Amino acid sequence: MQQLSGPIKYQEWNLDAAKMAVQEFRGRTGGVMLALHRIQQLFGYVDPSAMAMLGKVFNLSRAEIHGVTSFYHDYKTSKPGKYTVKVCQAEACQAMGSVKLTEDIKSFLGVDFHETTASGDFTLEPVYCLGNCACSPNIMIDQETYGRVSIDGFKALTESLSTATSEESA
C-alpha cells in the first residue's frame, strides 16, 4: 500500500488575516471568486464572518457573497474534517459500482455528502471525474487519488489515517 500522508494543515480562522489575504484581488475581474478560493486554501473553509468583510472589499452585498458560496459546493462555510474524502460520481465510476460504494461509505462514516464525521476526522464530498477512469471506482483523500476502491479497502485506508492522526497528536 502506498505511503499515507498526514492531513492538510490549515490555519485557525482569523478574520484580519483573511482580509489581508484578499486585498490583492480587489478590483480584479472575478476577484471575489479568487478571494474565496484563497481563503479556503488558507483556512479550509470560508467562515460566515467573512461575508460582510468580502462585501465591503468587493462592493457587493452580503447576500451576493452568500449566493456565490452556496452556488459553488466547493466552498465550505464550516470547518472541514482533518481529511476530505471525495467519492467519484461520474459515469465510468458509476459503471464500476460507485453508487453502491458511496452508500457503503456514507453508512460506514455515518454522514451524508457535505457533512463531517462526529470524530472530526472526515468530511465527505462528491466529485465528478478524477481523471483516473481506467481504475474506477475512484476516491480522493485530500490530494491523493485511490483507484479500484472497495468498501473494505476504504475501511482499511481510513483506519490507517485515523491511526496516523492520533499518533501525530500523541
Q: 4, 164 in Cβ contact below 8 A?
A: yes
First to last CA, the chain: 24
The residue from 35, 51, 87, 88 that contacts ligand FES (CB under 6 A) is: 88
Which residues, 2 to 41, sit near ligand FES by CB under 6 A? none
Q: Does 105 bind ligand FES (CB under 6 A)?
A: no
Q: Does 87 bind ligand FES (CB under 6 A)?
A: no
Q: Does 93 bind ligand FES (CB under 6 A)?
A: yes
Binding mask 110-129 for ligand FES (x = CB under 6 A): -------------------x
Say what the alpha-carbon torsion angle 81, 113, 130, 67 is, to the nearest 10 degrees: -90
Cα 108 to Cα 154: distance, rounded to the nearest angstrom: 10
Three-state DSSP state, 63: helix
**Residue ranges of E strands in the chain:** 83-88, 115-116, 122-127, 139-141, 144-146
**Which residue number, 31 or 97, has a Cβ lying nearer to ligand FES?**
97
Q: Does 139 bind ligand FES (CB under 6 A)?
A: no
The residue from 136, 139, 141, 146 that contacts ligand FES (CB under 6 A) is: 136
The residue from 92, 99, 140, 164 that contacts ligand FES (CB under 6 A) is: 92
